Each structure stands twice: as structure tokens, then as C-alpha cells.
Amino acid sequence: MKYTLSRLFVPLLTLRQCFGMCLVVLVLSKSSFAQKADLIFTNANIITVTAQGERAEAVAVADGKIIRVGADEQVLLLKGPKTKIIDVGGKTIVPGFNDAHLHPMPIYPFESVHTNIDLSPSSVKNMDELIALLKKKARVTPKGLPIHGFGYQDTKLGGHPTRQQLDKASTEHPIIIRHSSGHITAANSLALQLAGITKNTTNPAGGAFDRESDGTPNGVCRESAAGLLRSDKMPRPQPPTEHEEEAAYQKCFENYLAKGITSITEAGSSFPRMKTYEKLQANGLLLRINLLMSESILDQVIEKRVRQGYGNEHLRISGIKTFHGNSLSGRTCWLNEPYDIVNETGKKDYYGIPPKRNQKQLDSLFQKIQDNGLQIACHSNGDREIEMVLSAYEKIQQPRQPKNKRHRVEHCSITNQSILQRLKDDSVIAVFHSYIYEHGDKMIAYGSRRWPMMEPNRSGIDMGIAVAQHSDSPISAADPMLRIQSLATRTSAEGIEIGLNQRISAEDAIRLWTYGGAYASFEEKIKGTIEEGKLADFVVLSQDPTKADIFKLKDIEVLQTIVGGKVAYEKPNTKDAKK
């Protein structure tokens, strides 16, 4: 049903004819029994994201929950003497955004030895700027201590930085920087030397070194090869103090709230980090956090008897993040048909890097996680990897779906019709990417013949597959409006169009970014839509995304972020700022 003024007034008028003024008394006395609101947003364009796609004008909140949604007059009946009324002047309200898979990165000051320098295109435009920034960092870093950076994009720099290039920034600090995919690392000569990586070092299973003509690694370490840089001989700064670390995470979380994100799922967490988050929330952080614990601590999780749903609506655990496969934007994921590139590893017929587990090992890992009552969230990008993941899900869920365990495939990038059908039949959640805006140029390596079935959000929705959305931040920006633009346009920043058949409307994209995430963490009964009884988590936007130019969605501003009825972020008032 649509909440419109006419619906409210038609019965009122009819009654008025019958009972005259008695009606007013009736309404007043009835409403006086109802719970009064702490807060009412009125004069809004509310996109409720309910299955019927209703719009509303007002929403009332009490005790952190939504107590009424509807037309202004209807909701204002819950106004009491202490109710705060916020007239949003016709602005749009959507449920709080839910980023179903990301990696919070503590943000330290530039001078700190713990800083991980942002090398993304928003920070450096070319190789010279990248070297200059690392050089600047070297000047404020004690000699011998490592310099870390992340987010460089080879496609924007004209290639991965080699050790010789990084040596120009410093030969007195080991430099270790990560590609935007997170799956490739570039190191300078000192870092390779300290890690003992030489011409004679063979490629580890599931990884590879790029090499110079005489076989010496050139600093570019793919997948598991980067793990060899984690040597005991690599100098380490004193760890940050608890206070420094908390402040750095707080900064990261404040950035999420400023983009309208009210709920996140961290993909690959730990118990110490959970404690940090708990402390931040005790000190007032309103962001809601769901955790997928890292597979490396699976035994610890089992020992502590943690099950899916452990925790509360602020901080909880749903399961285990595991890997089967490699990277899409790093072009290392394993494919059924070869890549369109032949030279990246020097090999012809390049199929990517095979995952480290075989089918049997994968089956038994999944069985163990499921037997312990935990959700499985498995990172997998290439079609050849995803097919193995689905086979494992099918094996452990025999007979098919006695109870929907809501296992997930993270990213699930390169698909085909049979993969989609199996996702549907197995009730597996597809946590698709939305990062064509930033990484569209890397899709060229897959060939345009694959684009119509990459990140297939449109097909997923049409087939009734449970789809959730994520930024995978810092892989792509934790900025839902930019992500929604990417989903609606499938066009990269440079204008490359990737599989336009998989575009979805802004309205559908909002649903994936709200309800989709809530479902993926078993929380759709308490959040993800604006409905009575749900948590009062929502975002006030400067414009209605369903009516805006899809190429300008990223420019829509978040004016206010509300979590549990409290203001978690408010756009600074420009008038006040000028005073």
C-alpha cells in the first residue's frame, strides 16, 4: 500500500460526516494511548525498500526503533511534549547502507610509523607522483623502518612499480606497497634482500614473482609470493599504543558513517580487533559491526563455542571468511578459458593462479565450519574457482537445503548460466562486486565476451538469487552512492562500458545496499528497510537517487546518518562554517 494523504483523509471525511467533531476527540484520545515518539522526521521522501516499494512522508522513532511510517499527519499523531521534530524539507530518506564485506583500515597520521599510505588514483596520478610521495614519507620515517602503502593501480601507472623504481624513493627503508586488488605486492630491493628473496627463490604454491631477464625477482610479488616478504628479519616499529590504534579505527569508522553506512561486515576479523570495536562502541561509536572471523583462527572460534548470531545488534559474529581463489582486479583468479592477456606472467594460455586447496580439502574445511554452526563466506572470483565452491556447498548441504544456512560466495565475479542456477538452487548468497567505476579498465584482460556474465547483479535479481553488495574497501571506495552509480551505469571513470546488460536501477541498487546486506548477516528482521519495529537506521540524502541522472549519483550528498535514532553524522552546515 502507498502511504498517501488521500488514504488518510478519505476515511476521516466520511467519519466526519457521521460524527462531526466527536471524531477529533476520538483520534486524540486514541493517539494519547500510543507510545510517543522521541524523534519524528517529517516532510520527507522516504524510500522504504519494502518488497512493495512503498514511499512515505514521515517516520517516528522511539527507543532507537521505528514506531510508525506513513503520511505526515498520521505519524505526527505520535508527537508528545518531548518529541523532537525534524522537517527535512522534502529530502530523501533511505535505510542505512549496509556494506556486506569490507576491511576496516585504521587511519594514522602521515608522520606515524604505522601509516599505510594511500596510493590510489585519488592520491597519486602517475608513477612519478607515487615515487615522490614515498620519498616524502621516507623523510619522516626513521631509517631502517619499513614504509607501507596500498591501493596503487598498475593500469593507471603504466605497470606495477618495480624494485628499481621503488629504490628511487629510498634504499634505506624497506618499501612494501600493495596493489588495489590486495593480491599483488611491490617491494624495493632492501625489502627483498631482508626477506632473503633472490634469483634462486622458487615460486611458492599459489603465487609467483615477476622476474628480470636473469631470473632475479623484480619486486612484483603475486598472491602467496607476497607472503615471503613477511620475514622475521624485516624490521618492525613498536606496535601502536591501544589509544593510537583506537583513534585510527575511529577515524576509519567516522568516514563510513559520513557516507551513510550504518552497518558493516568485516571480512576476516580477529578477537583482539573485536575487543577494540567493542571499546569504541562503549565510548559512543554508533556503527553496527558484523564479523566474519578469519579462517586462520577457525579453531579458536570453535573452542570459544561461538555460533552464528553470537553478540548483539551492535557487534556480532556470523561466521568464517575463507578463500578459494584469487583476484579479479589483480587478474590472478582461475578461469575455465584463458585470459585475453598473454604476457602478464610471460605465459601463453594464462588461466590465472590455481587456488591452494583441492576439492577434497575445500569440502572438509566447509564441513568443519558448517558443523560448528557458522556461516561460510568464501572469497572466489574466477568461474573455475566458483564451481568448486558450489560443489563443496552442495556436498555439505545434502539433502539440499534442509535449512537455509545462508552460505555466501564473496565477489563471485565471473559466472555463467549454470553457476547462477546453482547459486539459486543451493540458496547461496552472491555478494557481488560493484567496482567497475574504479576497476573497469582491468576487465579488458577478461575479454568483452565475458563481460555480460561478470558481476551479474541484474541476472541475480531476476533469477531470485539472494544478492548483497559490498565495497571490499579499500579495494573500492566505501561510498555507497558511488557504488550505486557503478551498478546503475557499469561504466568506469574513464568511460569504459562493461556488460551494460547487467545494469540495475538505482532503486534496485539501494535495495542490495540495504536489505541485501541485512539478509546476508541474518538481520533482515531488524534492519534493511524502513518499517515499524525495525532499528531506526537511516540516511538523509540531498537528492532522490531514483530521479537523478545515473552518471551523477556519486555527487548526491549524505546530509545526515541516523543509527538507532541518534545522529551519527551530520554534514557540516556551510553557513555555520563561514561564521
Chain residues in the site for Zn ion (CB under 5 A):
267, 472
Cβ atoms 159, 174 nearer than 8 A:
no
| Comparison of 99 and 210: residue with beta carbon closer to Zn ion | 99
Measured CA to CA, the distance from residue 532 to residue 526 in angstroms comes to 10
Cβ atoms 208, 220 nearer than 8 A:
no
Q: Which three cell numbers stand for residue 170?
A: 629510498
Nearest distance from C-beta of residue 388 to Zn ion, angstroms: 19
572-577 long-range Cβ contacts below 8 angstroms, 24+ apart: none
Nearest distance from C-beta of residue 317 to Zn ion, angstroms: 17
- N-term to C-term CA, the chain: 46
Longest dimension (CA), the chain: 96
Nearest distance from C-beta of residue 101 to Zn ion, angstroms: 6
Cβ atoms 540, 92 nearer than 8 A:
yes
Question: Residue 431, SS3?
Answer: strand
| Comparison of 219 and 355: residue with beta carbon closer to Zn ion | 355
| Comparison of 102 and 465: residue with beta carbon closer to Zn ion | 102
Q: Nearest 5 degrees, angle CA 260-CA 263-CA 265?
A: 130
Nearest distance from C-beta of residue 276 to Zn ion, angstroms: 19
Tell me how far CA of residue 556 lies from CA of 130, 210, 429, 468, 474, in angstroms.
30, 42, 29, 22, 21
Nearest distance from C-beta of residue 371 to Zn ion, angstroms: 25
* Residue with cell string 577494540: 276
| Comparison of 426 and 472: residue with beta carbon closer to Zn ion | 472
What residues contact 149, with CB distance under 8 A and at least 6 apart?
116, 117, 118, 119, 133, 134, 137, 175, 176, 177, 178
Cβ atoms 467, 519 nearer than 8 A:
no
**Which residue type occupies 484?**
I
| Comparison of 454 and 535: residue with beta carbon closer to Zn ion | 454
* Residue 45, beta-bridge partner list: 92
Nearest distance from C-beta of residue 270 to Zn ion, angstroms: 15
| Comparison of 154 and 472: residue with beta carbon closer to Zn ion | 472
Tell me how far CA of residue 109 lies from CA of 102, 245, 248, 249, in angstroms.
22, 11, 8, 12
| Comparison of 472 and 537: residue with beta carbon closer to Zn ion | 472
Name the percent of the chain in helix, strand, coil, to the closest 5.
35, 20, 45
| Comparison of 383 and 472: residue with beta carbon closer to Zn ion | 472
| Comparison of 120 and 560: residue with beta carbon closer to Zn ion | 120
Nearest distance from C-beta of residue 38 to Zn ion, angstroms: 37
Nearest distance from C-beta of residue 32 to Zn ion, angstroms: 51
User: What residue number has its CB nearest to Zn ion?
Assistant: 472
Nearest distance from C-beta of residue 151 to Zn ion, angstroms: 13
Cβ atoms 328, 304 nearer than 8 A:
no
| Comparison of 57 and 472: residue with beta carbon closer to Zn ion | 472
* Residue with cell string 592477456: 341
DSSP 249: H
DSSP 565: T
Measured CA to CA, the distance from residue 291 to residue 212 in angstroms comes to 41
Nearest distance from C-beta of residue 256 to Zn ion, angstroms: 15
* Residue 95, beta-bridge partner list: 538
| Comparison of 165 and 476: residue with beta carbon closer to Zn ion | 476
Nearest distance from C-beta of residue 54 to Zn ion, angstroms: 34
CA dihedral 490, 491, 492, 497 (to 10 degrees): 100
Nearest distance from C-beta of residue 411 to Zn ion, angstroms: 7
Tell me how far CA of residue 59 lies from CA of 9, 39, 45, 73, in angstroms.
18, 8, 10, 11
Measured CA to CA, the distance from residue 275 to residue 348 in angstroms comes to 48
| Comparison of 387 and 472: residue with beta carbon closer to Zn ion | 472
